Structure 1
Amino acid sequence: EAPALDAPLIRASIALGAVAPVVVRASAAESFLVGKSLNEETIAEAARLAVQAASPIDDIRSSAEYRRAMVEALTARALRQIAAGETRAGWPEQPVLLWGDTGGVWPVTRRNGKRSEGADANERTALVNGRSVALPGGMTLLDSLRAVGFVGVKEGCAEGECGACTVSLDGMAVMACMVPAERAWGGEILTVEGLAACGQLHPVQQAFIESGGVQCGYCTPGFLVSAAKLLEERPHPDIAAAAEALTGNFCRCTGYHKILEAVVRAGELQAAASA
């Protein structure tokens, strides 16, 4: 049974994702909660009302019935956490973001406040793996990069779900299938082809080889780029940090154990190289 939050609520906001064509607000549940305290009875009714805002579909991931049940269960769980003063329960204090040193803010300014030398948005160029490259527009960054020869960037789902097309754009890991090519004009891009430097494999590349983290290889470029961004944030990642960093990357060969081992090993190799 949930602990009670005695003070009446002044305002309530509940947003639901992945259960409607767009993110929706559970307005009936929100209106019901205003002026009430959070006890078990109130929480149960609010959770029931939240389901009214959902219009899920049946697909390969789950049934509409399951999604409706999860709306009710997760709404109740969140409200119980609020009532107990545990809103951050289960969340890491410092989540892995794969944002490098950007803070997630765009546009990124570098080199004394200027954008990258050799990259010009007006000229429709980007600095790709350290080289100025003209990127065609009117398509995704994934297709644009492949059109100019960076075929290490793979298309898996084209829906931003599998991570096979992950690249670093202005220091942040992005799924290139979800980014307009125009967004990259004037920016800096790192693809899997640019990880190795001066003839030496990047620590994550070496670790994937040593640990057997490569299976069919199709998803590997995305894993490598995500792992490289992780090492920028967490030079000595553990298994938990590795798993968190790679939640956006799918391996359909189900080889996650060796992949996670490889990411931890990459941190060891990087430390040894800098010692």
Structure 2
Amino acid sequence: MAGGISYHAKDVLFKSLSELYQNQALDVYGLHGLPKIKTLLPNEYPAVRADEKRSDTLFLLEDDSILLLEYESNQRFIENHLKYLDYAYRILHTYYRQQKQIRPIHIVVIYTSEVTSAHEQLHAGDVLISSKAVLLCEYNGDAIFHAIEEKILNNEPLTAEETMKLILVPLMNSRFDRQTMIEKTIELAKEIRDEPTQLHVIAGILTATDKFIDEEYVKKVKEWIKMTKVIRLFEQEKEEAVKEAEKQKAIEIAKNLLDVLPIHEIAKRTGLTVAEVADLAKEMGK
């Protein structure tokens, strides 16, 4: 994970994720018993050893307990739970050293569609580590994607649950491979008109797919995110100006053809609608 996305170094994404998850219930994961999320926490915590480990996502909940949210695509349950035990020790040690507190920790593991069953406990004598499994193999990613796509393309606002589901779509069952689904989902997120929601979703997808996403594609997405709103608006205005210039050119061509071709043929050749050509003919008294 050393080459993954560090949200200490990505302040925009970290802030966006914090806003996305703040005050969210975790019902979309089937986690009905947990308190709402208070805030997203930095997910890197140094140990006495020289290396540095980090969980996928770390939350502070409303009751001041900690939620450790992990994404896995394998069934190495023993190795993974040993990893979570290490994370839990580092979290407990950090809070106790800084605040003299022992905070309760909840461990939730979201398994990608490849995993169809999961062990939720590792017993080692007096030591027991437990987790809650969320199996995304039980979700139809294509159906969820198309339902949300229809709302986005119709400029309808997404509910909190739909926003969370869109983030997880690339990890659900799909007829497409994972990288293709990641790209389809991020490109769909770019169509969201509300800019904060747009960035929330993209940040969430990058976090959820950090272990699986193609690094070159990540670079492209990060470059896109770096574009300021002003630059994006300028690019959009430039595209609109080009389209308007093309439209005016088509109109001039249509005017010149009105004396020699029928209206439907002019529409076919210029890309204008029959109604637009007919209006031009009226204006010119043809």
TM-score in same-fold range (> 0.5): no
TM-score, structure 1 as length reference: 0.28
